[in-house]
Amino acid sequence: MVVRFALPKGSLWKGTQRLLEEAGYEVKGAERSYRPSISDPEIQLKILRPQEIPMLVEKGSYDLGITGLDWIKETGADVEVLLNLGYGKVRLVLAVPTWMSDVSSVGDLIESFHRDGRTLRISTEYVNTASRYIMSSPAYRKLYGSSEPLVITPWWRRGENDRVVLFLSFGATEAKPPEDADAIVDVVETGETLRRNNLREVETVLESTAVLIANRRSLRNESKREKILDVLAMLMGVVEARGRLHIFVNVREENLQELLRILPALKGPTVSKLSREGWYAVNTVVEKEDFIKLLPELRRLAQGLVVHVPRQIMPLEEVSKRVRVDESS
Amino acid sequence: MVVRFALPKGSLWKGTQRLLEEAGYEVKGAERSYRPSISDPEIQLKILRPQEIPMLVEKGSYDLGITGLDWIKETGADVEVLLNLGYGKVRLVLAVPTWMSDVSSVGDLIESFHRDGRTLRISTEYVNTASRYIMSSPAYRKLYGSSEPLVITPWWRRGENDRVVLFLSFGATEAKPPEDADAIVDVVETGETLRRNNLREVETVLESTAVLIANRRSLRNESKREKILDVLAMLMGVVEARGRLHIFVNVREENLQELLRILPALKGPTVSKLSREGWYAVNTVVEKEDFIKLLPELRRLAQGLVVHVPRQIMPLEEVSKRVRVDESS
Amino acid sequence: MVVRFALPKGSLWKGTQRLLEEAGYEVKGAERSYRPSISDPEIQLKILRPQEIPMLVEKGSYDLGITGLDWIKETGADVEVLLNLGYGKVRLVLAVPTWMSDVSSVGDLIESFHRDGRTLRISTEYVNTASRYIMSSPAYRKLYGSSEPLVITPWWRRGENDRVVLFLSFGATEAKPPEDADAIVDVVETGETLRRNNLREVETVLESTAVLIANRRSLRNESKREKILDVLAMLMGVVEARGRLHIFVNVREENLQELLRILPALKGPTVSKLSREGWYAVNTVVEKEDFIKLLPELRRLAQGLVVHVPRQIMPLEEVSKRVRVDESS
Amino acid sequence: MVVRFALPKGSLWKGTQRLLEEAGYEVKGAERSYRPSISDPEIQLKILRPQEIPMLVEKGSYDLGITGLDWIKETGADVEVLLNLGYGKVRLVLAVPTWMSDVSSVGDLIESFHRDGRTLRISTEYVNTASRYIMSSPAYRKLYGSSEPLVITPWWRRGENDRVVLFLSFGATEAKPPEDADAIVDVVETGETLRRNNLREVETVLESTAVLIANRRSLRNESKREKILDVLAMLMGVVEARGRLHIFVNVREENLQELLRILPALKGPTVSKLSREGWYAVNTVVEKEDFIKLLPELRRLAQGLVVHVPRQIMPLEEVSKRVRVDESS
Amino acid sequence: MVVRFALPKGSLWKGTQRLLEEAGYEVKGAERSYRPSISDPEIQLKILRPQEIPMLVEKGSYDLGITGLDWIKETGADVEVLLNLGYGKVRLVLAVPTWMSDVSSVGDLIESFHRDGRTLRISTEYVNTASRYIMSSPAYRKLYGSSEPLVITPWWRRGENDRVVLFLSFGATEAKPPEDADAIVDVVETGETLRRNNLREVETVLESTAVLIANRRSLRNESKREKILDVLAMLMGVVEARGRLHIFVNVREENLQELLRILPALKGPTVSKLSREGWYAVNTVVEKEDFIKLLPELRRLAQGLVVHVPRQIMPLEEVSKRVRVDESS
Amino acid sequence: MVVRFALPKGSLWKGTQRLLEEAGYEVKGAERSYRPSISDPEIQLKILRPQEIPMLVEKGSYDLGITGLDWIKETGADVEVLLNLGYGKVRLVLAVPTWMSDVSSVGDLIESFHRDGRTLRISTEYVNTASRYIMSSPAYRKLYGSSEPLVITPWWRRGENDRVVLFLSFGATEAKPPEDADAIVDVVETGETLRRNNLREVETVLESTAVLIANRRSLRNESKREKILDVLAMLMGVVEARGRLHIFVNVREENLQELLRILPALKGPTVSKLSREGWYAVNTVVEKEDFIKLLPELRRLAQGLVVHVPRQIMPLEEVSKRVRVDESS
C-alpha cells in the first residue's frame, strides 16, 4: 500500500523539509526534481505549489498533503485537516497606505471611498476570501446589499458591484499601491514588508499555519488509514518534541521528594540510584518554557544537570484518538 | 509630462534590462524595489508580472509597457503594439508524454481519450488560449459541439464539458504529467525542458516575443505622444543596431568602385582619402549576416578591416512614420 | 605513533566529512588545503582523488584510506578492506541510447554491431573493469576469442581488436553518445542522469560503496594496529548508530512483561521505576525499521514515548573480532 | 621610474576598478591580494582603506592615491587634489530620529537637549569634522563657548564639554539611535538607509566624491610628474567620455549647413562625402543630455544615425594646463 | 525586567550565534537587522562592533555584552567579566617580515632600527596596547626613557618619540609591510595569514577569547542580577557540555564494580538493572578526551555502548558561587 | 555544410567563451548542456575536456577544436594548428620542494637521487611529455641509457627503469610532494600555487597557450575549408584587435603633416576636413602600447582625441595566406 503525499514548494518548503528530516525520513533530490525520493518505500512524494494542493488532495490525486490553512479556506477544498504543524505562521490582513490615517476598519475604508465617489480597488492573491470578507462587513451590506464586488483577473470577471473591485495579484502584492490598488489583502509574517512599502495593517482577515491534510476517501480505506496514521504519529512526535527538553539531574536523598514535587506531573519522572550512596538520578521531560522557571529551584535542590533535545515525543493515546475520530467521519 | 512605463519581471526581465541599458538609460535599484529609478526624469518605472501588464496598460495605469505577446493574446487586452523587441522568443505548444507515440495532433489526442472513455486532463498557465485552441479543433467540435471544456482553477470553474478538463497551472507545468495531467499547453524556448520531462511537442499553439505596447488614449494626448516617440526612437535604435556592424575598410583607388558596388546600398558608404596616395577609406553599416557573406569579396578587394559594434542605429524616418500611423488610430 | 589517513575528494567527500564529524573528530581547513588538520594529534590527513587512493595505500604512502570499492576493483590494489561505510552507493552499468530498444544485454550489443559491420565504441572512466566485463561475455569470446578490445586514451592504446573500442572518458561520460560513443560504462546513483541524456541501463557491471581500507603491513605493526582499531571503533560506532534509535518509554506494571517480550532482544532493555506508583520506564536501542513496525503495539501497551538519535553505538566485541581476524592475516 | 598608487577598498572599490579598466589598464588579482598587478609596468598598486590613504600619501608612502574628499577633510592631510573622478558621490549629513519633528538645524538640536538638561550623544565615523561642525554653530558657541565637545573612542577621550558627546562609530552608524546615540553624522547616498532606520536629514555637513590625489614632493620630481600626468590623462579621458556619445549621421547637401549650425560647436564636426551624389556624412561628439534634445531636429534634417560609445575623450590642452599649475605649486 | 545584551559582529559573530542557539535561544533577523529578536521576551539584543561594546557596557547602554578580551584591555573599560566563552581564541603578536632573521624580541627590533638611524613604523588596530607593550620593553626605556612613541591616526597624533611610530590600521594589517610598516601588532588564529604574507611571529603581546561581560551597576540591581544569572546559567551549560559526552553502557554483574572504579568520579554514574538477569545499565557523563582513553578498558569490561551529545551540562553550584562573588563586588 | 567545433571546459572555458562572444557569435546554454547552441547555423558545438579534444579532432569527430598546446604535445595528435589564440598561457615546469636548494636542473635531480640510491618519484598529468623530457637529459642517458622510466597509472604500467618513476596525477599535482612524489611536472600560471605548496620551479618543460586546431581531412574538403576560414577570419579579427585602439583626433592644418609623420605607417591614416576652416580630422588604428608613448607628441600637436575599442581588426591578406598554406599541406 503506497501513500501519495503532496508537499508545498515556496515559503513552506524549508519548514516542511525540516519536519520530515526530524521525523526520521530522508528526502533526496528535492532541489532538482519535483518527485524527490523518500526513505520509506510506502510513501511517494510530489512537490507542488501550495495553491494547488488542497484541490488535488480533495480530488484524490494525493492521499496526504501539506499546505497552508489559507489556501484550504481560499479554495474551499473538502479535505480532512489532521494536524497543525506549527510552522508557516502568517496572517492574512487588510492593509492600506500609511497616509490613510483615518481608516481603522474595513468599514471605514468602504465608506470613505463611497463618500468620495471613488472606486475602491483591492489587490490580493486571495480573491474568494477577500470577497467574502468584504461582503460580510455591515458597511458594505448597508451600502451595496448582497451584490458581489467585481473580481477582475487576467482570465475572467465576476460580480456586479464595480464600486468595489478586487484585482487578482500574482505576487508582490505589497508593491501594488498606490498606482494599481488602494488597499491590499495579503499575508504578513513580521510586518516588515508592509512597513518597507509604507503600508499599515487595518484588520486581520485570517490566521494560517502549515497543516497536514488527508483525502477523506483515503481515510475510509482500512490499509491506507493505517499508513496515514503512521505518518501522523511520526510528524506529531516532532511537533510535540519541539517545545520540550529531556533532562537528567542528580539529587541527594534528602532533597528527592521535594524535587519530585516541583517537577511537572505527567506520568512522573524516572528515578534511579547513583552508584554513590545517598544520591539519586532523576530524568524527565519538561516544557522549554517551564525549564527556565524551574532553574532557581533546581539550583537549590540539585547538582549536575544534563539537558538533551529529543527527536520526537509521541503522546501515543492522542494519535489513537485521532484515528477513532477519523473512522467515524 | 511624465510617462509611466511598466516592465516585466521574470524571464523577460534580463532582456528588458539590457535593452534599456543599451539605449543609454541607467536603471537603478531593480533588484530590491519594484519601482527602480531611471536616468530620464520624465519616465517613471514599475516592475510587474508580465501577465498583469496588458490589462493595466489597457486600463491606463501605465502609458507604456513591455510584455509578451502571449499574455496580450491570453488576456485579450486592447492596447497598441508599437515595436517587436526581438527577445523573449517562445512558442506556446501542446505537449504529451513521449510514450503517446500515436498522437500527432490535438484532434488525435481528443479522439483517443474519447474512444477510451477517459477524461482528458490538460494543465496550462494559459487557460483561455488553450480553451479557444481546443474548441477550434474539428475533432472537438464533432464530438462535443460548442460546449466549452471544463476549466478548473483554485478559485473558479468554467465550461460544461467535463470530458476535456483544463487545470490552471502555477508553473512547472512540465512536471504535471502523468499524475496531474495527460497533456500540457506550455511555453517552450529550446525544447530542452520538455525533453527532460519526457514530453513531446505535438502542435504549436502560438508564437510570442517581447513587445512594446502603449495605452491608446496616451497616444492621442499630444505631449505624451512626443515623449513616447522619444522612448520608441531610443529603443528602436538598439533593436536596429543589434543585427548590424559599422565597418571601416581601406581600399586602393583601382578597387574603390567595385567595392562600392558590392557594399549594401542604403544612402551609400562614406568615402575619405587616406593620407597615403592612391588609397581610400570607406565606412558603412552592414547587416551582421551580410558581413560574413561579403568576406570573400572584401578579402579580394580590400586591406585592413576594422569592425565596430554601434550602440544604436536609428532609421529616423521610420520613427516618424509610426507616429503618423498612431495619430490616425 | 601517527597514522596517515587518505580521504577521497569529489562525490565521496561530503559523506566522508560527515562521518568523521559524527565520530567526534573535528576536521578543519579541508576547503582550502589538501592537508586538513584533525582534532586527534595521532592522525594525519590527506585529501586525494579516489582513483589514486587504493594504489597509494597498497604502496604504503598511507596506513588508512577511504575510497570507493569500484576503484579498488578497477585498480586491482592489494589492500585490506576493514569496513563498509554505507554511503557512496553507486552501480557501474552498461548503458545505451534509449532508441536501441532491442539491446538487452552486452551480448546483444556486441552482436548487433558485429552484424552490421560497425565498430562498437564504448566510453568509460573504468577501462579495465569494462574490458574484463566485455571479454567475459560469451558473445565476445565466440566472435573475437581472447583478443582484448582496443583501449584508447590520450596517452596509450592497448589491445588488438579494433571492432570493439574503449575510449577513456574524463567525466560527463553520459554526454558522449551518440557522436563520441555508441555505449558507455558509467556509475549511476539514481539513474536520473542517464534518463536526462536519453540513455538506458542494460546491465550492472559492478556495485560499489565507500569503504575503509588499510595497508597490510601497517596492520601487522603492533602499535599502528592499536591506533587503527581506535579509528575503526569510532567510525563503526557511527555506522551502527545510523540505522537505530534510543527510545525511552513509560509503561504500566501490568503491561511491562508484554512490552519486554516484543522489544528487540539484544542484552535486554533497561528498566527503572517511575516516581509514580505502578509505572515503569524502559529504555532500549531499536532499529529504525523495526520502530515503525512496533508502533501499533507500543500504542496499545505504552504511554509517553521519547525518541533520541544517538551519536554512536559501538558493538565492542565486534571491533575486537576484526582485530583478531586482522592479526591472523 | 615607478609610480606607487594607493587604491581604496570598500564602497569606492567598484567604481575605481571600472575607471581603471575603462582607461585601458588591466588590473589582476585584486580579489585575493592587496597588491594587484597592473598592465603598466611603471605603476605599482596597493589597496588600502580610504581612511588610511590621505596620511600615507602625505607621508610619501605613495605618489598617487584615490580616496574620498570626506577623508581628506577629516584627516586634514596635506596632499594635491588632481581630479574629481565623478563616482562615489555622498553627502555627510546630520540626521535625527523622525519623531524629533521640531529639530530643523544643528542649533535646534543643541538647544533642545540643553533646555531639557540632557546630554546630547552623537555617533559618527568623522569625529574631527563633526566636532568642527558643531563648534561652528552659533547656538553651541553661545551656550558652551570654545570648549570642545567630549569625543569618546576606544583609544582616547578628548574635549571637556560632556553635555555634547561624540562617539566614534565603526560602521552601521544609522543603527545607533536611539539606544546608543541621539543623532548621527553620517554619509548618505540615496537617503534610503536613513529612511529604513527612521532617521531624517537635518543639515548637510559636507559633500564628497572620489578624487585623484598626489604627494606634493612627487609632483616636484620631474620624471615622476611626467608619469603622473600620463595617468591623469588616461583617467581624465574616461571621466570626460562618460557623459558623451560619438555620432555618425547622413545628411542631404541642402540640409548640411543647417545641421552644422545646430550641432555643438567645439572644434566643429568632421564632414565627409558619401559615395552617393548629393549626400554627406557628419561625425561629431555630443553630450548625452544634448543628444535627446537634438533628436527632433535630427529627425527633420537627417537620415541614418549611428551612435557610438567612446572609451575615452581627452581634452589634451586641459591636461597640459594642470601640468603647469602643478609645476608652480 | 528587560536585560539589554550587546552582541559582536565580525569574526566573533558566528561563534556567538551558535552559542545562543545551543543554549536554546532562538535569534531571528540578525542577517538583516542590528536589532534581532530573541525567543526570551526579557532579553533585548543589539549587534555592534566588538570595539564599541566595552565602552557602551561601561557607560550603561547595555547590561550584558559579548566581546573579545583584547578590546577590553585596549579600551581599559571598567566592566565585570562573567564567563570565558571558549571560542574566538586569538593571540595578539608582534610580527616582522621573515627576512629580519636576527630579530627575536621586541628589544632586538627597537635596537636594530635605532642602530641604523631608521624610524621604526608599526601598524596595528590596538594602538594603546601596542604602545604600553613597547614602552615596557627595557630596550625602549634605555634608549628613549618615558617618552611615548608617536601614534598616528586619521583623527589625532599623540606622543613625542618619532623614532618609533604607531599607525592605526583599519584591517588587513598583515598586508602593510613592507611599504607601510616595518612590523605589525596583530591578532593571529592559526598563523597561516602571517605565513602567506611572509611575516614571522616574534613575541605574544596578549591572549584573548570571547567573554561575557556585565555592567557593574546592573549586577547590583537585584532583579537585573537574577535575570543575568539565568542567562549565565544557560550559556555556562553549553560551554561545559562542549567537551563532554553522555554514555550509556551495558555490563555484566561480575564486571560492574570494576567498571565503576574506572569511570570518572563526579557524583558517580547512574546504575539500573537490565530486564535480562545478571546485567546492568550504567550511564554517566565523561570528558571527550577521557573517552578515547577509556575505550580499551570498556572493550574488556562492557558490551553495547551508546554515545549521546548533550545540549547543556550545568554545574549548578558553580553558577551560584559566581552569584555570591558578584554580590560582594 | 556544417562544421563541428569542440570547445574546452575547465580553465580554458572562460577565455574561449569571451573570444567567441567578441567575434560576434552568441553561445547559449553552455552552463547547463554540453551541446550549447550558437548563432551561426553552420556551426555545431560540443564542450569536452581539453585532454580529449586533440584525439577527437584528429579522428574526425570534429572539424575544428580549441585546446591547449600542452595537450596536443602530450597526446601527439596529428592536427593542423591554425591560430595561437593568446589566452590560456601556462608553462609546464619541473618543480621540487623548496628545501632541495641544490637542485638547479633535471640533471641535478636525477643524479642526486641516483647518488643516494633512492628512487626518484615524479607526479604529473603529462606522463608522455615528462618521460620524453627526462629521457632527453644527458644525465639520464649517461646513467640509464635508453631505458624508459617506469610510468605508473591506475590502469597500466610502462617502462623498465624503476629508479625513475612517473605517477599519473589526477589534478592537485602540486599537493603530491613530499609524501606521494619527490618532484612534479605541472602547469604554472603565476607561480602562486607552487609557492603556497612550498615548491620551486627548476626548469621549463614546455610553453603552452590555447590554440585553434583543425582536422587535416576537413581542410582538404573544399566547402568545409571555406567555412573553417570564415571562422578563422572572425577569431583572428578579435585576436588582432585586442592590442589596438581606433583613435579619432582633430588637428590644425599647420600640424597635420608632422602628426602624420609620427603616426604608425600601415596603409596610412584617414584624413577628413572638419567643418571649421583650417582643421582636419585624422582617424587611425594604433597599438595600445604605442598609444601611451605617442601621448606627449599628441598633446603638443593635436586637440580633442577620441579613443574607440574596435571589436575586430582583420588583416585580410593574412587570412588568405593561411588558406594557401593549408591547401598545400
SS3 A37: strand
Quick check: B85 and B239 in contact, CB under 8 A?
yes
Q: Which of A154-158, B138-142, D178-182, F106-110 has the lowest mean pLDDT?
A: A154-158
Compute the CA torsion angle A220, A226, A227, A230 (nearest 10 deg).
Answer: 130
What pLDDT score does B266 carry?
Answer: 53
* Residue among B276, B288, B303 whose CB faces F316 most closely: B303
CB contact under 8 A, F306 and D246: yes
pLDDT class of F328 with cuts at 50, 70, 90: very low
Any CB–CB contact under 8 A between F11 and chain C?
Answer: no
Whether this model's ipTM surpasses 0.85 comes out as no
Quick check: E171 and D50 in contact, CB under 8 A?
no
CB contact under 8 A, C155 and F180: no
Distances (CA, A) of F58 to B223, C167, C227, F13: 66, 14, 53, 21
E285 membership: H or E segment, kind and range: strand E279-287
Quick check: F249 and F298 in contact, CB under 8 A?
yes
Residue D1: Cβ within 10 Å count = 11
pTM for the whole thing? 0.70
Any CB–CB contact under 8 A between D319 and chain F?
Answer: yes
Most confident listed range (A198-202, C262-266, D251-255, E30-34): A198-202
**For residue B41, what is its C-alpha cell?**
526624469
Quick check: C123 and C167 in contact, CB under 8 A?
yes
Q: Mind listing the pLDDT tens digit for each residue in B214-240?
A: 999 999 998 898 889 888 888 988 998
Nearest residue on chain D to F251, alpha-carbon basis: D267
**For residue B68, what is its C-alpha cell?**
509578451
What pLDDT score does E97 carry?
Answer: 95
What pLDDT score does B24 carry?
Answer: 82
D103 membership: H or E segment, kind and range: none
Quick check: A209 and A69 in contact, CB under 8 A?
yes
Q: Mind listing the pLDDT tens digit for each residue in F124-169?
A: 999 999 999 999 999 999 999 999 999 877 777 789 998 999 988 8
State the Cα–Cα distance between residues B251 and B280, nearest whole angstrom: 5
Measured in angstroms, the CA of F5 and the nearest CA of chain C are apart by: 12
CB contact under 8 A, F37 and B308: no
* Residue among C230, C237, C272 whose CB faces E307 most closely: C237
Give F83's strand partners: F212
> pLDDT above 70 covers what percent of chain F?
94
Q: CB within 8 A of E296, min separation 6: which ones?
A: none
F240 membership: H or E segment, kind and range: helix F222-241
Amino acid letter for position F86: G
Compute the CA torsion angle D100, D101, D104, D108 (nearest 10 deg).
Answer: -50
Any CB–CB contact under 8 A between B268 and chain D?
Answer: yes
Mean of pLDDT over chain D:
87
pLDDT class of B242 with cuts at 50, 70, 90: confident
CB contact under 8 A, C312 and E303: no
Q: Mind listing the pLDDT tens digit for each residue in D144-162?
A: 999 999 998 888 778 889 8
CB pairs under 8 A between B and D: 75
Quick check: D140 and D154 in contact, CB under 8 A?
no
CB contact under 8 A, E172 and D51: no
State the Cα–Cα distance between residues E183 and B191, nearest whole angstrom: 62
- For an interface test with E, the pick among C235, C257, C270 (most E C-beta atoms closer than 10 Å) comes out as C270
Q: How far apart are the first and last CA of chain A?
A: 22
CB contact under 8 A, F270 and B292: no
Measured in angstroms, the CA of E322 and the nearest CA of chain C are apart by: 31
* Residue among C190, C288, C303 whose CB faces A316 most closely: C303
Q: Which of A24-38, C7-21, C261-275 has the lowest mean pLDDT?
A: C261-275
Collect all residues of chain E within an 8 Å Cβ-Cβ radius of residue D9. 172
SS3 C184: strand
Nearest to F313 by CA among B303, A147, C268: B303
CB contact under 8 A, C180 and F75: no
Any CB–CB contact under 8 A between B55 and chain A?
Answer: yes
CB contact under 8 A, D51 and E154: yes
Strand order in the sheet with C64-68: C43-48, C3-8, C64-68, C210-214, C80-84
**For residue E152, what is its C-alpha cell?**
598616528
User: Is the pLDDT confidence value at C12 over 50?
Assistant: yes
Compute the CA torsion angle F52, F56, F57, F59 (nearest 10 deg).
Answer: 150
> pLDDT above 70 covers what percent of chain D?
94
State the Cα–Cα distance between residues E8 and E23, nearest whole angstrom: 17
Give mean pLDDT, residues F61-71.
Answer: 94
Any CB–CB contact under 8 A between D89 and chain F?
Answer: no
Partner chains of C (3+ C-beta pairs under 8 Å): A, B, E, F
Measured in angstroms, the CA of E327 and the nearest CA of chain A are apart by: 17
Any CB–CB contact under 8 A between F308 and chain D?
Answer: yes
CB contact under 8 A, B308 and F311: yes
Collect all residues of chain D within an 8 Å Cβ-Cβ radius of residue F299. 233, 316-317, 319-320
CB contact under 8 A, F158 and C156: yes
Residue C281: Cβ within 10 Å count = 26
Q: Is the dihedral of CA A213, A215, A217, A223 positive or negative?
A: negative
**For residue A136, what is its C-alpha cell?**
460580510
What pLDDT score does B329 carry?
Answer: 39
Pairing of strands B149-152, B161-168: parallel
Tell the residue number behind the cell numbers 519594484, with chain if given. Answer: B34
F170 membership: H or E segment, kind and range: none
* Residue among F55, F156, F158 whose CB faces C154 most closely: F55
Burial class (CB in 10 A: 0-12, 13-18, 19+), A17: middle
Mean of pLDDT over chain C:
87
Backbone phi, psi, residue E154, to 5°:
-60, -20
Any CB–CB contact under 8 A between E168 and chain D?
Answer: yes
CB contact under 8 A, F267 and B276: yes
pLDDT per residue as tens, chain E (329 positions): 799 999 999 899 999 999 999 888 889 988 888 899 998 889 999 999 999 899 889 988 899 999 999 999 999 999 999 999 999 999 999 999 999 989 999 999 999 999 999 999 999 999 999 999 999 999 999 999 999 999 988 887 788 898 999 998 888 899 899 888 999 999 998 888 899 899 999 999 999 999 999 999 999 888 888 888 888 888 988 898 888 888 888 888 898 889 888 887 455 688 887 777 888 888 888 888 788 778 778 877 887 788 888 888 777 667 656 644 444 43
Any CB–CB contact under 8 A between F29 and chain B?
Answer: yes
Mean of pLDDT over chain F:
87
The DSSP 8-state label assigned to residue F189 in this structure reads: S
Pairing of strands F120-124, F183-188: parallel
What pLDDT score does F212 carry?
Answer: 97
Give mean pLDDT, residues C306-318.
Answer: 78
- For an interface test with C, the pick among F155, F176, F197 (most C C-beta atoms closer than 10 Å) comes out as F155
Collect all residues of chain A within an 8 Å Cβ-Cβ radius of residue C274. 267-271
What pLDDT score does A278 carry?
Answer: 84
CB contact under 8 A, A51 and B170: yes
CB contact under 8 A, E46 and D180: yes
State the Cα–Cα distance between residues A121 and A161, nearest whole angstrom: 12
Q: In the structure, do chain F and chain A come into contact, i.e. share 3 or more CB pairs under 8 Å? A: no
State the Cα–Cα distance between residues E44 and E231, nearest whole angstrom: 12
What pLDDT score does E309 carry?
Answer: 84
Distances (CA, A) of A143 to A100, A103, A161, A163, C106: 21, 17, 11, 10, 80
Q: CB within 8 A of D259, min separation 6: which ones?
A: D249, D251, D282, D298, D301, D302
* Residue among E226, E246, E268 whose CB faces A274 most closely: E268
CB contact under 8 A, D267 and F295: no
C106-116 and C127-135 helices, crossing angle to 10°: 80
pLDDT class of B157 with cuts at 50, 70, 90: confident
**For residue E277, what is its C-alpha cell?**
538477569
CB contact under 8 A, E295 and C24: no
What pLDDT score does F112 carry?
Answer: 96
Total count of residues recorded for chain C: 329
Q: CB within 8 A of A260, min separation 6: which ones?
A: A268, A269, A271, A282, C275
User: Is the pLDDT confidence value at B263 over 90?
Assistant: no
Collect all residues of chain B within an 8 Å Cβ-Cβ radius of residue A172. 9, 34, 48-49
Measured in angstroms, the CA of C9 and the nearest CA of chain E are apart by: 23
What pLDDT score does E311 carry?
Answer: 80
State the Cα–Cα distance between residues D132 and B322, nearest whole angstrom: 61
D106-115 and D127-135 helices, crossing angle to 10°: 80
Quick check: B8 and B50 in contact, CB under 8 A?
yes
Q: Mind listing the pLDDT tens digit for each residue in D297-318?
A: 887 788 778 888 888 877 766 7
SS3 F150: strand
* Residue among D268, D312, D315 whose CB faces F307 most closely: D312
Q: Is the dihedral of CA A69, A73, A75, A78 positive or negative?
A: positive
Buried b (16+ CB within 10 A) or exposed e, C140-157: beebbeebbbbbbbbbee
For chain D, helix (H) and strand (E) counts, in that order, are: 12, 19
Burial class (CB in 10 A: 0-12, 13-18, 19+), E278: exposed
What pLDDT score does F307 carry?
Answer: 86
> pLDDT above 90 covers what percent of chain D?
47
CB contact under 8 A, E271 and A273: yes
Give mean pLDDT, residues D73-80.
Answer: 92
Q: Mind listing the pLDDT tens digit for each residue in D268-299?
A: 688 887 777 888 888 888 888 788 778 778 87
Collect all residues of chain E within an 8 Å Cβ-Cβ radius of residue C258. none
> pLDDT above 90 covers what percent of chain B?
42
Collect all residues of chain B within an 8 Å Cβ-Cβ radius of residue D248. 246, 270, 283
CB contact under 8 A, A52 and B154: yes
Burial class (CB in 10 A: 0-12, 13-18, 19+), B19: buried
Q: In the structure, do chain D and chain C come into contact, i.e. share 3 or more CB pairs under 8 Å? A: no
User: Is the pLDDT confidence value at F270 over 50?
Assistant: yes
Q: Mind listing the pLDDT tens digit for each residue in F198-213?
A: 999 999 999 999 999 9
Mean of pLDDT over chain B:
87
Q: What is the 3-state secondary structure (H, E, C) of F12-29?
A: HHHHHHHHHHHCCCCEEC
Burial class (CB in 10 A: 0-12, 13-18, 19+), A261: exposed
With residues binned 3-state (H G I as helix, E B as strand, rest as coil), the percentages for chain A, rounded to 5, are 35, 35, 30
Average pLDDT, 10 consecutive residues per value, chain A (329 residues): 90 94 88 85 89 84 94 92 94 95 95 95 93 96 94 80 89 81 93 90 96 94 86 88 85 88 71 80 84 77 82 71 48
- For an interface test with C, the pick among A256, A270, A306, A312 (most C C-beta atoms closer than 10 Å) comes out as A270
pLDDT class of C268 with cuts at 50, 70, 90: low
Nearest residue on chain D to E169, alpha-carbon basis: D52
Collect all residues of chain D within an 8 Å Cβ-Cβ radius of residue F308. 246, 308, 310-311
Q: Mind listing the pLDDT tens digit for each residue in F257-266?
A: 898 888 874 5
Nearest to D179 by CA among E4, E201, F110, A254: E4
Compute the CA torsion angle D272, D274, D277, D280 (nearest 10 deg).
Answer: -50
